[in-house]
Amino acid sequence: MDLLKRLGLNKYRIDKSSHIQVNLDICRTCVEKPCIKVCPAGTYERSGDVIEVHYERCLECGAALVACPFGAISFRFPEGGVSFRYG
């Protein structure tokens, strides 16, 4: 099943602004972009030298807090965000 369809099964109350910030100056110097591999929600997508952040997909797993080995990602939990029906 496609990732976006899977995410669509969850209930989201999306905040107006992103709870994830990226320091693009650091991001530009990173070749591997491990955040893309680590995030289970596909929140990070490569966009040229840097990443684009789809914060509305976030499952709030917390991996974003350590996904970037260079500390380019700052993350705080959203006020709304995802709610699970099963857990």
Partner 1 sequence: MSFDADVIVVGGGLAGLSAGIVSNREGLSTLVLERGEYSGSKNVSGGRMYVHALKKLVDIQDAPLERPIVRETYLFRCGSKEVTFSFYDPDSRNSYSVLRAKFDPWLAKKAEEEGVLISYETLVYDAVREGGGVTLRTNRGDLRAKLVIEADGVTAGVSRYLGVRRLDPDFLMLGVKEVVRPEVLPEEGEAKVLVGFLNGLLGGGFVYVNKDTLSIGATVKVSSLQKEKVLAREITEDLREKMGIKGEVLEYSAHLIPYYGFDNLPPLYAPNLLVTGDAAGLLINDGFVIRGMDLAIGSGMVAGQAAKKVLESGDATKTQVYEEMLKESFVMKDMMTARRAFQLMNSERLFKTYPDLLCRVMSRMFTVEGERRRLMDVVREELAGYNLTLSQVLRDLIKVM
Query: Could you list the residues that contact ligand SF4 (CB under 6 A)?
Result: 20, 38-41, 43, 58-64, 67
The least distance separating ligand SF4 from the CB of residue 67, rounded to whole angstroms, comes to: 5
User: Residue 37 and residue 35: Cα distance in Å, rounded?
Assistant: 5
Spatial neighbors of 53 by CB under 8 A, at least 6 apart, are 18, 20, 22, 43, 44
Q: 69 contacts which partner out of partner 1, ligand SF4, none, CB within 5 to 8 A by kind?
A: partner 1
Minimum CB separation of residue 77 from ligand SF4 in Å reads 8
Interacting residues with partner 1 (CB under 8 A): 1, 3, 6-7, 9-10, 34, 36-42, 59-63, 65-67, 69, 76-77, 79, 81-87
| Contacts (Cβ under 8 Å, ≥6 apart) of 51 | 22, 27, 33, 35, 36, 44, 45
